[in-house]
Chains A and B, each alone.
Chain A
Amino acid sequence: LAKTTQPISMDSYEGQEVNITCSHNNIATNDYITWYQQFPSQGPRFIIQGYKTKVTNEVASLFIPADRKSSTLSLPRVSLSDTAVYYCLVGPSNAGGTSYGKLTFGQGTILTVHP
């Protein structure tokens, strides 16, 4: 599984856009990039997933350059409730659905949003 590197921590203020970049130099052809959010004493929550270019949902955007060796999670106009740990994961997915149940988490990025 491809290893990921992301900043240990980031600080921001309410209303700002936050971009968290993740490096995954050894990403494989069939790997997807997935971001999770985790609040203290809760399970990780799926935010967004992508394979290439740009993906946007109601919560965030995910930018993936052509070489796929990095990705950037963009959170628009953060609020205090966005303070959490954000994990970038890279791993395979297949039609059978079993191999992508084995996620490898790094230490994540602690995002702190200030008033």
Chain B
Amino acid sequence: ETGVTQSPTHLIKTRGQQVTLRCSSQSGHNTVSWYQQALGQGPQFIFQYYREEENGRGNFPPRFSGLQFPNYSSELNVNALELDDSALYLCATLGQGIKTQYFGPGTRLLVL
């Protein structure tokens, strides 16, 4: 049990729509990262938020955006959905006192 929760667990959207995924952590750590994991691949880093500011981004277009709130919960927003956006979306927070990350269970997004 990592204490990181994500919602919803599953989601089906159609091409062109917009989606918002949510993440929260019991520990309330001030750093959260988001990853996209396509089927059969390792997770790919999307971006990281630190104290409500974006702190690094991977190779993802601007239609992937995020927010981090004062209570350290976070959102991932994806606009103009494409079929290739179908994936498992993971958020992760840093472990307390350990140089690692704790991942949530993910949100499975299917774009039709």
Contact = CB atoms under 8 A, between A and B. Distances in A.
Interface string A19-37: 0000000000000101000
Query: Chain B contact residues: over half helix, strand or loop, or mixed?
Result: strand
Interface residues of B, number: 32
A42 interface: yes
Interface size class of A (residues with CB under 8 A): 20 to 34
Contacts, number: 76
Contacts of A42: 105-106
B98 A49 contact: yes
A13 interface: no
A98 B31 contact: yes
Interface of B: 2, 4, 31-33, 35, 40-45, 48, 50, 55-56, 58, 88, 90, 92, 94-95, 98-106, 108
